[in-house]
Amino acid sequence: MGFGPLSFHSLPTIYSGILIAKQLNMSTTEHTMENIQEQRDFRNHMIDYLQQYKRFNLTNDEQILYNLTNLTSPSNVDAYEQLLRTVQQILKFDKILENDISYKKLTDAEKQILGTFNYNRRSSPLILLDYFQILKTHLAIHSVWLQSEDIDILIRNNMSISHNPESNMYLTSGIAPIDDYLRKNILITIGTDGAASNDGINFFTAMKQMWNGYKINMMNTDISKKFDEWNIIQAATINGAKALKIDKKTGSIDIGKQADITLIATNELGLSPLRLNTLKSLLIYSADTRNVKYVVINGTIRVDNGFIKYQNQSQLAQRLTQIARDVDLRVINGKIWSEKYIITRQDLIRSYWYKYRSIRVLDTIDLIIESVENLTMCIVVSGTTFGGGTYTVIGELAKQRFPEDKLPQAFSKPISLSAGISLRITKKRSQYEYTIYLGNAIIFAQNSTAAGQLLILAVEANSELSTICLDTTV
């Protein structure tokens, strides 16, 4: 279960999501301090919430929010924050290397100048999540701007980090303090962050940029020359499996594990000369997708001699281009979401079933939902771009602890759906009026007046989850 950056969501929504995650026994992730603007927005949201609601049922809640908002706000200039962190890094490594005879130390005058820069504790979403006790085995995505106190939180909760070096550079987010994480034995994985924030989805280039970013961030060859390249290869393989708790199934070649293997040709000019003592650096710096000859997924060969099996690569490329053009047209003309879903017992194996999409004014919706057993359906319209940040998805317990006013254009509607009966949801083009039918009868109609998300959630009628949907329409 992922929060997205906490700066995107209201405090009640964050807490409601935490309660649901605990109820479903789900692990959590969050885009943790990817960039400095998220820190500013998070702090400002907490300040605004305190000013609006002021008093809470629990004194500790009020205190943690005041403590968060009283911490130093990041500078409005990102480069200044980078300067402060670089100063701390210079002083730290000068101390680490003080007994190294080859290292040229800072002069007393330099130390005095650097000592005038104060890098006080910044407001951090990890403080809040730690207070809510949701961080055990949590996966912190990005983690670019963590301070030493945040790293202590990671260690205490046995958290992992998903490092996305290409995305962080592409978006000018910064460079994660990988050396700090390695020194503290924090599990680091490599990610790409997806095509929306990265021109390519390529683990070879991600490994290369992890190493390049590490060196540039250090600006200290006495430290970086001791870096073990094996850290990067592990981050791209077994560490990801460990972070997702699937390392007993995959992530390494071992008896009883799934055969998930990539075979790389070494008899090519790009990977020669080949020496065993430089094999790791060769794999990171020289290998690329062009060198991949075979890919085995769970024992099945999917790439054979450099070609994808069972698929025509030229047709795939053409199809991707067509999909992109269709998306561009849907942005201009609106999309049509017309489906019939029949929910089976297998669909509810996780105790719930859902569909979720962004909806804009030109979009058309015509959905029919049927089930083989009695269900409680929850239809939610967010009424805001980031749909998670609305009153409609907040459970009763969360609302009691952290109040929030309902947006007039948002609603949530619980519906009892009997086996064999059709539930239909419609929205006409150029309108935001949602109409819900049970059988042939209209049971609800409301105009949302704003873009947002539509969430359709199904749970078993008598399960504990059947009460999580608020009825904001009464």
Q: How is 17-51 classified by DSSP, letter by letter?
A: HHHHHHHHT---EEEET-SHHHHHHHHHHHHHHHH
Beta-ladder partners of 295: 262, 303
The tokens of 22 are what? 């605990």
Contacts of residues 220-229 at CB distance under 8 Å and 24 or more positions apart, as own/partner, are 220/93, 222/93, 222/97, 222/100, 222/102, 222/103, 223/93, 223/96, 223/97, 223/179, 229/280, 229/281, 229/284
Q: What's residue 53's pLDDT?
A: 86
In angstroms, the CA 358 to CA 181 distance is 36
Instruction: Give me the helix-helix angle, 78-96 and 36-53, nearest 10°.
Output: 110
Instruction: Please check the confidence at residue 394 and state whether its pLDDT lies above 70.
Output: no
To the nearest whole percent, how much of the chain has pLDDT over 70?
96
Helix/strand/coil for 170: helix
Q: Which pLDDT value is given to residue 392?
A: 59
More reliable by pLDDT, 180 or 463: 180
Q: List the single range of 114-123, 252-261, 273-282, 396-405 with lowest mean pLDDT.
A: 396-405
Indicate if the pLDDT at residue 196 is higher than 80. no
- Cα–Cα distance measured from residue 472 to residue 409, given in angstroms and rounded to the nearest whole number: 11
* pLDDT for residue 108 is more than 90: yes
Q: Is the pLDDT of residue 3 over 60?
A: no
User: Which residue stretches of 54-101 are H helix?
Assistant: 59-70, 78-96
Among 12-16, 93-97, 285-289, 463-467, the range scoring the smallest mean pLDDT is 463-467
What pLDDT is stored for residue 262 in this prediction? 95
Of 49-58, 173-182, 352-361, 399-408, which has the strongest mean pLDDT? 173-182
pLDDT per residue as tens digits for the range 134-161: 998 789 999 999 999 999 999 999 999 9
From the candidate CATH numbers 3.30.450, 3.20.20, 3.40.50, 3.40.1350, the one assigned to the domain spanning 6-267+276-286: 3.20.20
pLDDT, average across residues 267-290: 89
389 pLDDT above the threshold of 80 = no
Given this model, what pLDDT does residue 398 score? Answer: 81
For residue 103, pLDDT over 60 is answered with yes
DSSP string of 174-196? ----HHHHHHTT-EEEE----GG
Q: Could you tell me which residue, 286 or 397, shows the higher pLDDT?
A: 286
Residue 37: predicted pLDDT: 93
For 12, the token pair is 């009640």
In this predicted structure, the answer to whether residue 468 has a pLDDT above a threshold of 80 is no
DSSP letter, residue 394: -
Listed in sequence order, the residues at least 6 apart from 63 whose beta carbon sits closer than 8 Å to its beta carbon are: none
Tokens of 165: 């070096």
Q: Where are the domains of the chain?
A: 6-267+276-286, 334-467
Closest CA to 141 of 25, 28, 245: 28
Q: How confident is the model at residue 194 (pLDDT cuts 50, 70, 90)?
A: confident
Stated pTM of the model = 0.85
Model confidence band, residue 100 (pLDDT cutoffs 50, 70, 90) = confident
Q: What pLDDT is stored for residue 42 in this prediction?
A: 92
Those residues with Cβ within 8 angstroms of residue 422's Cβ, 6 or more apart along the chain or in another chain: 368, 369, 370, 437, 438, 439
452 vs 102, 333, 382, 390, 409, CA distance in Å?
A: 60, 17, 5, 10, 10
Q: How confident is the model at residue 391 (pLDDT cuts 50, 70, 90)?
A: low
SS3 268: coil
* Mean pLDDT over the full length of the chain: 89
What is the token pair recorded at 349? 């194996």
Q: At CA 323, angle to CA 317 and CA 326, rounded to 5? A: 145
Look at residue 276 in the predicted model and tell me its pLDDT: 87
**Does pLDDT of 440 surpass 90?**
yes
pLDDT category at 245 given cuts 50, 70, 90 is very high
Binned at pLDDT 50, 70 and 90, residue 222 comes out as confident
> What are the pLDDT digits (tens) for 327-366?
999 889 999 999 999 999 899 887 889 998 989 899 999 9
Separation of alpha carbons 452 and 357, rounded Å: 9
Coil, helix or strand at residue 409: coil
Q: Would you state the pLDDT for residue 1? A: 46
pLDDT at position 4, please?
61
